[in-house]
Amino acid sequence: MRRIKLVVDYVGTRYHGWQVQPGKDTIQKRLEEALSLLCKEEINVVASGRTDSGVHAVGQVVHFDTNTEYGLVAYVRGTNNYLPDNIRVLSASVVDESFHARFSAKQKTYVYVMYQSKEERAIYANRAVRIDEIDTNAIDKACSYLLGEHDFASFMSSGSDVKTTVRTVYRAELIKKDGLYEFYICANGFLYNMVRKIVASLLRVGVGKMSVVEFRERVENPDINSLPYVAPAEGLYLLNVEY
């Protein structure tokens, strides 16, 4: 028995999120089916985290245990032969049995992609979110208050059973690149809907519906469900996971 680590990317548009659900088409379901066909045994995969319906990934990390001893290329190309085009295995490596895709992760980075336009753009459909003109200086100031260790309960949707809502953010930055606005956030972990709720609040700051002071108060005085705004799923990408 050996443990294999995979890096996977996918377009989450047509799937009901990552996690297996009865009667639903999910990323995990497709990947486990493909690996089971390849390995000729039942395979269960563990991911670094669950992405919601419509959310994408550039560098999702998973692990699974198998009795097979294929070459690493086989776990990449062989699995891809059984996967739809919107899910791809990018790399495979053998890891120690102590490695755990979720619990061994040190930090994750997400990027939220937006474009500024008066009209919806077909080219960005389900891949980026249209926004109006924004005050980037105000957003930059608000981003600075996210850095460091905070209780992010204000930016969590209910329904999560986490032991603590305290997280450490290492990077929170809005970058304009090639006509797109990309918000990068790196932390040692994320709460349910945390990134999408942060983005929604930052955009409210950007259009003057929330002041920078109000944003800072939400960070410094956590209150679950105090911020009902959640940005659309289609702009969110799990960029990478570091171990």
Q: Which residues are catalytic?
A: 52
Is 230 within 8 Å of 193 (Cβ atoms)?
yes
Find tokens 């039942």 and name the residue: 42
| CA gap 235, 229 in Å, rounded | 15
| CA gap 105, 167 in Å, rounded | 14
CB half-sphere exposure, 156, CA atoms < 13 A: 20
Q: From residue 133, how far is each of 114, 130, 157, 182 by CA, in Å?
A: 11, 10, 27, 14
β-strand partners of 149? 168
Q: What torsion, rounded to 10 degrees, do the Cα atoms 145, 147, 153, 156 define?
A: 100
Q: Go through the chain and tell me how many residues it has.
A: 243
